[in-house]
Structure 1
Amino acid sequence: MAMETGTPGVDGLGEAVAALREWQDDGAPTQLHPGDLGWFWRSGAAATAAAVRTWRRRGRLLAVGLLDGPGLLRLTTAPDARRDAELARRLVEDLSEPARGVLPPGRAYVEAPADALVQELLRDAGWGTDEPWTPLRRDLGEPVADPGVRIEVIAPERAHVRAAVQRAAFDGSTFTDERWHAMAAGPAYADARCLVAHDGRGEAVAAVTVWSAGPGRPGLVEPMGVHREHRGHGHGTAICLAAAAALRELGASSALVCTPSSNVAGVAAYASAGFRRLPEVRDRRRDG
């Protein structure tokens, strides 16, 4: 049977999340995580379904992509399909031809695992590279140090607190408690937690969402932010430690995050919380 490209529909999103959970492995390069779909879910199930692309052969799901912004596809494959030539060729065809409905014409970006054959074929097809990102990983085999501040695990009735810190940490953020509830209704959030750090005066100063992929698999930190009025006091390190501890409690083998290399303060906060820097990665970029 020919390779099939499609969208899962709302009813098929659970299968995509389950596949992404299964594909996570500490020995694999940085890749699309079920938490990435989970965070996108703040826009609702219908919007998430519209942003997901799938590739199948003989009914088996081989690749999942998320349109995570204008012209950006974040893509990963089943571990045994990383070097699958037929899949890689089909991916390049779909990504390079706007009429196929995966990426729009003009400038476009593709994030894919560093060891995937599609990386090489996109390069050969004339795709360049974009700005560097820094992946970081913390092993969770040992207990995590106390963050030194009060950490609140956000319950539904406290969603407004989590949303307010998000807006105060990221310029232009449109996160609201309604969006938090939409996110929490998705299947990925069954293995997730939202945490807020409070300083000695009880002020909410930093927040993070962590996503487990199941026991023995790497978990994801996405996103983490410090309130703009409370920076420079170590709250970034504290909330990163809390994130690692929460993922360890959820059974994760490690904690992962990937941030622009230009985000010097963010990289430093993760590193100070025991996250180890990995080699930089770059999206593939087509200029038009």
Structure 2
Amino acid sequence: MSITLETATVGSLDEVVEAVASWQQDGGSVQLHPGDLGWNSSFGADALARSLRVWRRDGLILAAGMVEDGLIRMAVAPTVDRDESFAAQLLADLSDPERGVLPAGSASVEARYGAAFRELLHQNDWVADESWTPLRRDLTEKVEEWGLRIEIVDQSNAPERIAVHRASFPNSTLTLERWQAVAASAPYRRARCLLGYDAHDIPVAAATVWSAGPGRPGLLEPLGVHQDHRGHGYGKAISLAAAAALQDLGASSATVCTPTTNTAGVAAYASAGFKELPPTTDFRRKA
């Protein structure tokens, strides 16, 4: 059975998104999600496709990775979780710069799933890199009230959503055009962008939630509170609103992954009923 590596095309994006969506499962690690693809479509479908690497066996997609500045974020099908031959091919492709995945020298892999692949990385001198804390909230029970007025973002209030995002993440370069590209992406067909307003109708928090389909874990990406309005519980409130939106979309759970060093963020999610899971690290290849 032959394993092939290809760069995605605009025409194959729907197939890749659906494959990645189908691999999301409760009880597993929080791996690359359709929401990650959707948020990274802000530069357009062409740019997203160029960043994606797809591994097939006999035509069936079994792994996908999104390349960003010497880092590849991986999603692996549960059917090849312990497939050593498939894992060996992944490692070979990531290790050879001529394969067009990662450059020579220092590089990183986000591989939170795929037992055989992770073991091979360990065995081949890929060392622990940045630590991330995944959190998950079960959505089988009704989500409690959150205390913010929530609007679903559309063209009319998108500028406010962008302003909140840029005030939440000072290094952000999000623009109206880039938000429109996200909203036009294939993953956004099962997504919602939320904007939270305080008692004075001031926009103070925002989040985008991404469904992978009914009965599968949904993702919060991104979520932020305006830097001028922190310390009022709005992080908890927008997290609860995001969980409720995913529940309405049919998600089995709400998931998020944040840097372990982001202790305030971890605490906000925990206060909104998200269960903190064991931290996981990326893998880094030394230069």
Q: Do they fold alike, i.e. is TM over 0.5? A: yes
Deviations 1:6-60 (A, max 9, x none): 0121100100000011111102211111111011011110100000000011111
Question: Are 2:40 and 1:33 equivalent residues in the alignment?
Answer: no
Secondary structure of 2:180's counterpart equals: helix
Distance in structure 2 (CA, Å) of the matches to 1:115 and 1:50: 24
The DSSP-based 3-state class of the residue aligned with 1:42 is coil
- The DSSP-based 3-state class of the residue aligned with 1:171 is coil
Deviation digits for residues 79-102 of structure 1 (CA, Å, limit 9, x no counterpart): 111111221011111111112110
8 Å CA contact 1:114–1:281 kept in 2: the answer is no
Q: Are 1:10 and 2:10 matched, yes or no?
A: yes
- Displacement over 4 Å in runs of 4+: none
> Please, what is the CA RMSD of the aligned residues?
1.0
Distance change (3 Å), C-alpha of 1:4 and 1:114 = closer
Matched, 1:203 2:202: yes
Deviations 1:235-288 (A, max 9, x none): 100000000000000000000000001001110110000000001000011121
Residue 115 of structure 1 deviates from its aligned partner by: 4.5
Name the SS of the counterpart of 1:43 in structure 2: coil
Aligned length: 287
1-structure distance, mates of 2:223, 2:157: 17
The answer for the alignment partner of 1:221 in structure 2 is 220
Q: What does 1:1-288 correspond to in 2, within 5 Å?
A: 1-67=1-67, 69-288=68-287
Task: Give the residue type in structure 2 aligned to 1:74.
Answer: R
* Cα distance in 1 for residues equivalent to 2:198 and 2:183: 26
Q: Percent identity?
A: 56
What's the offset of the Cα at 1:156? 2.3
- What is the CA distance between 1:116 and its match in structure 2? 2.4
Q: Distance in 1 between matches of 2:173 and 2:141?
A: 37
Contact 1:29 1:115 in 2 (8 A): no
User: 1:123, CA displacement in angstroms?
Assistant: 1.2
Larger CA deviation: 104-113 vs 242-251: 104-113
Contact 2:112 2:280 in 1 (8 A): no
Q: Distance in 1 between the 2:165 and 2:127 partners?
A: 33
Give unmatched runs, 5+ long, in structure 2. none
**Normalising by structure 1, what TM-score?**
0.97
Q: Which structure 1 segments of 5+ residues have no match?
A: none
For 2:111, the aligned partner's letter is A
